[in-house]
Structure formats: structure tokens, C-alpha cells
Amino acid sequence: MIIPLIILAIGMNNDNTQFQKIIIVIVAVLIIWSVADIFVDYFMYTYQLLESEIVIRSGLFVKKVNHVPYKRIQNITTNQWFFLKPFKLVELEIETAGHSETSEVSLKAVPSSLKDEINHLRDGVQVVEDIKPVAKNTYQISWSDLLSFSLTSPAFLSGLLVVLAAYGKISDLINDQFYADMATKAAGLGFLVVVFLAILVVVIFYIGSALILIAKYYHFRLTENDGQFVIERGLFQTKKTTIATERIQAIVIKQPLMRSFLKIATIQLVIVSNSNQGDTEKGIIVMPVIKTDKIPQFMTHFFKSVPFAIPEFQPQKFTYFYNFRNYSLWSLPILIILIAILHNHILITVILTMVVLILWNIPAYLKSKRSKVTVLNRDYIFLQNSSLMTKQTMFIPKMTIQFLKRRNSLWLEKKQIAGLTVNVRSGIAKRSFNVDYQKQADIDSVLKWYKE
């Protein structure tokens, strides 16, 4: 009902009485429609637990009956908003082996005991989430770790870009006079005040992003026992997810630039899932923040089958050359615009050109320094790269790789240089890991390992 009430508040500010009456009628219809829709959903949605399946019926004019056999259930995720806790109610998201963009079944505001009841019925068929009371390994995030994770996340840049993109879509609807008034006010404020306001906006996004992450990963807890991972987190909404080890497609250790300086990292899992929403889209976080020197101990405790090792390697000179060349070419349009605008100020043009080249080629340097792929043993490969100045270290098992692709042009083939793409399943789609400008012999050794 929030949107109709906003429409009502805006409409009542108009002095036209006839317009106000029309707005009141529209809002009344929207509210009645919303309430009616809620009641129809409530009375027409039922679920039934049978001996071998769950049956869900829904729909008023179009009747739908969904049969979900227990043996097809891959995962049950529990979501509990803070206002449901006093009533011991939860939302259960049930995923099967199908290929839908969301969970096949979403049971909202059901008793928290229902999950255990479903698991009890699944006994003897296929129990994926039968977690024993005593866990072998447990990790509970501390406040200092949670703050380190939240304050070093580059997520605020994504929020800022979303706002700018939204503004780009509605900018044509804004009156030109508004822009003229804003320009006049900005000129009156002065350059330093405008810069301060711009910095203030970025700081607000930064603090807001940190608070959102704190609420999202509040009381983060990881439990592992007999090949099962249970992840619990959330302040306003408590989310509990169970993951079987056979669903894990790759282990990714990520370090944005700021976390590289602080020598901390985040560990994620790429998993098989039906849903492309939430964490499953880019990876389930199993360790929000960890000191890099403690990663080997964590991997030994939680991933015993993974041969954790960071091979020592010296980046090739040709890797630096090709990456610097590519990034420099991409910077040419910016340099051309700078020269066209500031051609009368030679010194300023030279300084800005040097600054652009340096800043633009930092990702090229990091990408060259961090690129490597090698075979660890008969079951795992190690792949490391840099994406948007974020260092990514991957441990990928052979059994989860969908296919490998060697990439090189005719020119690079003559020089025995190639790239590699590794595809695994992520959610309902694929996830590609790439490494470029490596020795062709190293790439061929990985291809040979995959064929064996």
C-alpha cells in the first residue's frame, strides 16, 4: 500500500478539487485491489505433505497444482523476518533439480517446525540437510571482523552507479528550468562547497552500504559436519541455508584492492542452484573476512579434500606487454578528448595525460601480476586472475568443469601464447573463469589434465 499512499500525498497537494477527487478514487481502487489480492492468495494457496511428495495448490481463475517429490528436493532455505520471530513463523524456499529462476516452492509464514517435518518425511529417500547436533567445525563472525568486512567493501560504488543509471533514465523528464536554477545555486555556493557536497554524497553511500552489509551478515555463523555446510546470518531477516559439498563447483578467494593492502580476504563458494537470486548469483560467502595468513588453516579445517596451495610464479614479461598495450589503447578516446579541450594548456594536458595513463594502467599491472593457471593434482586446478582490481584465487575440481577453451589468435599462436576459459555451473547458468597471455605449454598441460 506504500505506492498508493505516496500517490495520495502528492495528489492532495494540488489545489484542483476535481483532481483531488480523481486521485482519491484511484488510491481507493488500488488499496482495495491490494487487500483483495492478499486475501485471494491466502485462501487459494494450500500445501499438503504426503508420504512421498509435497502438493501445492494455488490460483483462483487458473488453478495450479505443483507436485514436488521429496527425493527431488536439493535444498531448503529458511528466511525469518524479525516480526515473525515472536510467532515462530518462517518462509521456506524449496529448490529441486529443475531449472527455474526462483525456488520452485515458497511457503510463507509457516511454522518453523515445518522444515524438520519435511526432512523427517525425506528420511530414507534422500536427506540433504540432516545436520547432526554436534558440529565438527564452527565459525562465528566477531564485531571487529564484521566491521572490517563492511568498511572495506566496494559495494557502495554499485549503489552509486545504480542511482546514476536511474537518473539517466528520468533526466529527460526534468524541466530545463530546474537545471538552470541548480546551476545558479551551485555557482553561488562556490567551487569548494560543491566539491564538499559531492564528497558528502559519496560518504553517505559508503556509510549506507556498510550498514546494509552489517545488517545482512549480522551474527554470521558457519557450521560444517559430514560434508554439509549450514550458514546463518541476518539482523532484520535471519537466513539459514544448508549446502551439500557435492553442490560446490569452485572455491573462490576474493580480495578487492583495499583488502589486499589490509591482508584480508573473503572466501566464496560457487554452487549448483535453481535460483539466480541472492547470494547464489555470484557465490555463497562462507567466510566474510579472514586474514590471509589464516586461510590455509581455514581451508584445512573446512575443505579437507582441497589441496590448498598458492604456487609461486613469476609473471611473464609478454603478459605485462600485452595487458599494458590493451589498456593504453582503451584510454586513447579519453586522451583525445583531453587534448581537444585543453590543447592551449600544454603543461596541464601533459600532466593529465600522465595521470590518466597511470590510473588506467593500474588494472593492467595487477592483471598481469596475478594471472596464473596450473594443475595442483589429479582432481584440482589452481587459477588466479584480477577483475576490476579484485584479486580472485580459484580452486576448481575437475569433476565440476563443464568445459575448457583455449584462446589464441594466429599472431599469438606463433609466439606460443594463449589464454584459457574454464566454465562451471553457477546457479542455473554458468560461471566463467579466464586467464590471458600465458605460455601455451601451461595451457596445454591443463587441457591434457582435463582429458585424462
In 99-218 the beta strands, taken as DSSP E runs, fall at 105-111, 137-140
- What is the DSSP secondary-structure string of 53-84? EEEEEE-SSS-EEEEEEGGGEEEEEEEEEGGG
pLDDT of residue 382: 94
Q: Which residues touch 161 (CB under 8 Å, ≥6 apart)?
A: none
Q: Which residues sit opposite 419 in a β-bridge?
A: 407
The residue with cell 546463518 is 232
Mean pLDDT of 220-229: 84
- Residue 381 has phi, psi (to 5 degrees) of -120, 155
- Do residues 270 and 424 lie in contact, with contact meaning Cβ atoms separated by under 8 Å? yes
Share of the chain above pLDDT 90, in %: 22
- Looking at the predicted structure, is the pLDDT value of residue 198 above 80? no
pLDDT of residue 434: 92
Please write the tens of the pLDDT for every residue from 383-416: 999 988 899 999 999 999 998 999 988 888 889 9
* The three grid cell numbers given for residue 218, joined into one nine-digit string: 549480522
Mean pLDDT of 362-382: 92
- Looking at the predicted structure, is the pLDDT value of residue 290 above 60? yes
3-state secondary structure of 378: coil
Predicted confidence band at 266 (pLDDT cuts at 50, 70, 90)?
A: very high
Predicted confidence band at 281 (pLDDT cuts at 50, 70, 90)?
A: very low
Report d(CA 49, CA 117) in Å as an integer.
9
- Looking at the predicted structure, is the pLDDT value of residue 150 above 50? yes
Please write the tens of the pLDDT for every residue from 104-119: 788 888 998 888 888 8
Report d(CA 3, CA 30) in Å as an integer.
9
pTM value is 0.73
For the ranges 149-158, 282-291, 324-333, the maximum mean pLDDT occurs at 324-333
Residue 416 identity (one-letter amino acid): Q
Residue 369 identity (one-letter amino acid): K
* The three grid cell numbers given for residue 80, joined into one nine-digit string: 525469518
Residue from 354, 386, 382, 356 nearest 369 by CA: 386
pLDDT of residue 20: 77
Report d(CA 243, CA 429) in Å as an integer.
18
Minimum mean pLDDT range among 83-87, 172-176, 306-310 = 172-176
133 against 166, higher pLDDT: 166
pLDDT of residue 419: 93
Residues in the chain: 452
Residue from 82, 239, 218 nearest 150 by CA: 218
Integer angstrom CA distances of residue 12 from 2, 15, 34, 174, 325: 16, 8, 21, 21, 60
Residue from 149, 446, 443 nearest 268 by CA: 149
The residue with cell 499512499 is 5
- Residue 45 has phi, psi (to 5 degrees) of -110, 115
- Residue 66 has phi, psi (to 5 degrees) of -110, 120
pLDDT of residue 398: 93
pLDDT of residue 128: 46
* The three grid cell numbers given for residue 243, joined into one nine-digit string: 549446502
Please write the tens of the pLDDT for every residue from 17-52: 777 788 888 888 888 888 888 888 888 889 999 888
Which H/E stretch holds residue 328? Answer: helix 317-342
Q: Which residues touch 433 (CB under 8 Å, ≥6 apart)?
A: 250, 383, 385, 392, 394, 396, 421, 422, 423, 424
Integer angstrom CA distances of residue 135 from 87, 138, 230, 233, 388: 28, 7, 10, 17, 37
435 against 132, higher pLDDT: 435
- Looking at the predicted structure, is the pLDDT value of residue 226 above 80? no
Predicted confidence band at 240 (pLDDT cuts at 50, 70, 90)?
A: confident
- Residue 402 has phi, psi (to 5 degrees) of -80, -45
Residue from 257, 212, 266 nearest 235 by CA: 212
Residue from 4, 3, 22 nearest 14 by CA: 22
**Average per-residue pLDDT for the chain:** 82
- Looking at the predicted structure, is the pLDDT value of residue 277 above 50? no
pLDDT of residue 448: 94
Please write the tens of the pLDDT for every residue from 308-366: 888 888 888 999 999 999 988 888 888 888 888 877 778 888 888 888 888 888 999 99
pLDDT of residue 314: 87
In 273-324 the beta strands, taken as DSSP E runs, fall at 284-291
* The three grid cell numbers given for residue 85, joined into one nine-digit string: 520471530
Integer angstrom CA distances of residue 121 from 52, 131, 215: 7, 15, 34
pLDDT of residue 175: 56
Give 272's DSSP letter: B
Share of the chain above pLDDT 70, in %: 83
- Residue 406 has phi, psi (to 5 degrees) of -85, 135
pLDDT of residue 184: 67
Helices and strands counted in the chain (H then E): 13, 19
pLDDT of residue 278: 45
Mean pLDDT of 267-284: 63
* CA-based torsion, 241, 97, 115, 35: positive or negative: positive
pLDDT of residue 279: 46
* The three grid cell numbers given for residue 428, joined into one nine-digit string: 542455473
